[in-house]
Amino acid sequence: MVSRKMMSLIFLLLMASSGWATTYSGVSEYTAGSGSNSAMIAIDFDLDNSFLFTYEWDGAATGWDAITAISAAGDLVVETAYGGTFITDLLYPGGLKYDYGLTNSGWAYYTSGDGDIWDYSMVGVAGRALSDNTWDSWTWTSYSGGEFGWDNADRMPGGIPVPEPATLALLGLGGLLLRKRKA
């Protein structure tokens, strides 16, 4: 029989794990460019496949400069519409994505100053001015429509849906009450 202390320990471990969410971390796949400034570029495929890249530069640089330098330096393939800067697809070995049906999925472009708080980019990749230690993320997502059709991305960069701790606590307390009632 499991002791009360062991049950408490298991419960605390479950509580701690339920509040944890995945963020971008780890070593970048490779570095493109050279210079005194650096930015992290994350390519967040569906199905838990995320890849980090580092872009280094001197002077002024845009998100387009970063993504094309990363593509030229390694295995990232950037597909554009009509040879312009509108990115239609990103391909990388090990990167898998799921098409949610018809025209409801695609790449969403996010920007961040610290890699934790993300904003949907209101400018295109060529209009995004990079600064030192900023983050950009391309996230494969489905879109839920909205007034303009493509303005409500269903996935944010770096995170996956996880239960918040209070829900697990209520479920655990309910289970403990049922167990006590049977005893």
Residue that the structure tokens 């062991």 belong to: 6
Is pLDDT of 21 > 50? no
pLDDT digits (tens, 9 = 90+) for 103-155: 667 888 888 887 777 888 888 899 999 999 999 989 887 766 555 555 555 56
Residue that the structure tokens 């994350």 belong to: 42
Provide the pLDDT for residue 70. Answer: 96
Mean pLDDT across the chain: 78
Q: Where are the chain's structural domains?
A: 22-182
Q: Which fold has domain 22-182?
A: Ferric Hydroxamate Uptake Protein; Chain A, domain 1 (2.170.130)
Higher pLDDT, 79 or 159: 79
Higher pLDDT, 114 or 165: 114
What is the share, in percent, of the chain residues with pLDDT greater than 90? 30
The answer for residues whose C-beta is within 8 angstroms of residue 80's C-beta and 6 or more apart is: 86, 87, 88
Higher pLDDT, 149 or 182: 182
Q: How far is CA 125 from CA 44, 99, 114, in A?
A: 16, 23, 18
Provide the pLDDT for residue 36. Answer: 97
